[in-house]
Each structure stands twice: as structure tokens, then as C-alpha cells.
Amino acid sequence: MNDKTKRVVVTGMGVISPVGNDLTTFWQTLLDGKGGVASITKFDTSSFATQFAAEVKGFDPEDHIDRKESRRMDIFTHYAIAAADEAVKRSGLDFDSEAKDRVGVITGSGIGGMTTFEAQSKALLERGPRRISPFFIPMMIPDIAPGYISIRFGLNGPNFATVSACASSSHAIGEAFRTIQRGGADVMITGGSEAVITPLGVGGFNAMKALSTRNDAPEKASRPFDSDRDGFVMGEGAGMLVLESLEHAQSRGADIQCEIVGVGYSADAHHITAPAPNGEGAVLSMRNALAHAEMQIDEVDYINAHGTSTPHGDVAETNAVKHVFGEHAKKMNVSSTKSMIGHLLGASGGVEFITAAMSVRHDIVHPTINLENQDPACDLNYTANKAQERVVKAALSNSFGFGGHNVSIVLKKFQE
């Protein structure tokens, strides 16, 4: 059943990332093929199997948030607010002139306030329950980020968080898109944030054998679709969007960046962490997204892949793309943003949707770096090591999370 009623466009985007804390810097660094992976500075890693990550650099929360208030927030909320501020500013919206019950916020985070959780656990164990901060719970819970954003701008529309591991922010974007389509809001702020480069975060993923351990060359560690990949690289940051109904955006003369035309969800129903080997769940999410968009496979020019740099995940996604797109699969460009910024977990979908939107806007695809010895089982055009100019009329952004959660979003150039 086609439930589309309104067209939905993107009018603002904001980024906090390991390769830049604003959209312009972020995008240019990606086009230049420069990665943000280096040794971890946040804690002593001498006893850890993995000693590197893609950290956000040069970020000061007090550039965006009052000092007293910022101390009552976890880092993932700092990132969310900063990225939302940029997205709103770029959109040109003036919320004082808006019906605020028609503006909402939906954001995703796979884990939420891990830094706060670790600090408060330590306080409990070392100093007892009386030393637990009264702000512990509201600093930690994933839904506090959209809550704070709504408070910041005085927005009374739909407000909640999505939690689906690495698909969290793509689910958030999908639900914000559907909310506007169905008439539940005129404007939505959406995306995701994550900040779990912490001892428990890195140690936990190490225990699962999920992370690369290429400590001798961390800048080469994130290498999606390469034969020598050995796991993903942890990243952090936020990617936020402003979505509007087309009517609302046109009524105020907004600069429309692109249009979202379809979203597809699915489940692998296979394993808690491993993808279905032939990408069956990914096949379903991509097909659902294309059906919702009422588009044919040969209309898609570019896929921003989930592309994590894990041995099984990259092959499963490649198989899924070939299954859905057939011969057209090799005519498209594919690239993995994670090759440069690592895996932002619950924030990855928001940031990667933005890269797909920039490709649609500017007709250029950023590279997949470190692709030096392409895996024979991964036999598509992954835009190896150098950006490629090409017309990108439509793109697809994939996000797949632990638990078998799959989201695919289709976006295209805006046309009247």
C-alpha cells in the first residue's frame, strides 16, 4: 500500500565528525580522501587489543551550549545539539515564525551516554550510591538528545528517539520522513549522534572480535571491500538534517538540497551480530525502499554503502546489491564513508545520508580509501581511493545494525 501524501525535502544539514565539525570541512575532507583515524587520546589504551579510533577533534561544547548546562549533558548530546544547530542555521528557518506544534525532532543513538554510564558506575563502586549524580539517568538515556533539541528551539511536535544499533539514525530519518508524508508535521529535525570511544565501548567490541587491531598502521585500518580488512574502526560524531514538506519549504523560499522519496525497513532474522550471509535482509530493505519511491533499479546512480570493513559484512552487502540491481549493479558508483571516519554506530546513518545528499547535490562521489587489494568477492565499483565526478540523479543510503535491523533510504535531485 502506498501511503505517500506529501513530498519531503531536505533544507538543512549539520555534521560533527572525525574529519570536520561543520558540513563544508567534512565534505571537502571526504572528497580529498583524507581519513580521521589515529591513536586514541581519550584514555590509556596500553592494555587494549585496539588502540586507535576515529575521534572528533577540536570540538568545544561551550561553543554551542552554556557551560553549566553542558556539564549536565553527555558528549553524545553535545554532538547532537551542535549538528542540529548547524542544520537549522543552514535551513534558514526562524522558529519564532513557525507553528511550533508542527515542528518535531526524532534522532537516533545506538548506545547513548556511555561516558556518563562509565563515570557513574565508577562513582557507585568507589564511593557508594550517595555519590551518584542526580543527572545520571537524563544524561545517559538516548532520548535525551531529541528532548534537549526540542527544548532548545521550543518545538512541540513529535519527539522521540530510535534505538536500533547501527541503523538507529537511519530509522530516525525514515520515521521523520514518514511523519511529514502523512501530515503529522511540517518540519522535522532528524539524524543521530554517538560517542562511545570509551574503555567499555572499545573493550566490549574487542571482546566480540569486531574491531580492527591494526595498531601499527591505524590510518590504514578501515578498508572496506579490501582483502586485508580485519574489522571495523570505532568513530564518533553526529549528523543532523532539517526535513520539510515541499509546500512548507517552497512557501518560505528555502534552498532545497534534495528530496527523500522512499524508505525501506527489514530484519535479517538470522543472528544477533552476523549479517545474513547472502544479504537477504538488505535485499528486502533496498527493494522496499525502491518500491516506496516508485523507482526502477536503473534510476539509481550511487549507493552509500554500510561498508563497515568487516570480513562478512562487506561480502553480504555486495551480494545484496547485486541481487537487487542485477547487471545495473556494476554501472553504479558505491562508496563507504566509514573508510575515512570509521563506524559512528548509531550516528552513522545520519552522517552517511548527508554524504549521499551532497553527492546528489554536487554530482560527485567521495572515494573509498585504503582499497588497495580489492576482495574478489566484492566486485563492484567502490570508487577506489579517488573521488569521481558523475551525474547522481538518485542515490541510496544503507544502514544495517546488530540484531539484523536494516534501513535503506532513497533520495534524488529535487525537481519541481
Burial of 111 (0-12, 13-18, 19+ CB in 10 A): buried
CA gap 155, 100 in Å, rounded: 5
Q: Report the length, in residues, of the chain.
A: 416
From 306, 366, 378, 405, active-site residue? 306
Cross-strand pairs, 194: 237
From 64, 292, 343, 405, active-site residue? 343
Helices assigned H by DSSP within 187-332: 199-207, 246-251, 280-293, 311-325
CA separation, residue 165 to residues 12, 170, 207 (Å): 25, 10, 17
Residue 258 is a catalytic residue: no
From 64, 78, 166, 378, active-site residue? 166
CA gap 309, 220 in Å, rounded: 11
CA separation, residue 128 to residues 113, 121, 123, 199, 402 (Å): 21, 10, 7, 21, 34
CB atoms inside a 10 Å sphere around CB 400: 33
CB atoms inside a 10 Å sphere around CB 6: 17
Eight-state DSSP code of residue 130: G
Residue 366 is a catalytic residue: no
Residue 343 is a catalytic residue: yes
CA gap 338, 123 in Å, rounded: 35
Grid coordinates representing 149 are 533539541
CA separation, residue 398 to residues 71, 113, 318, 329, 378 (Å): 34, 25, 12, 15, 16
Q: What residues are annotated to the active site?
A: 166, 306, 343
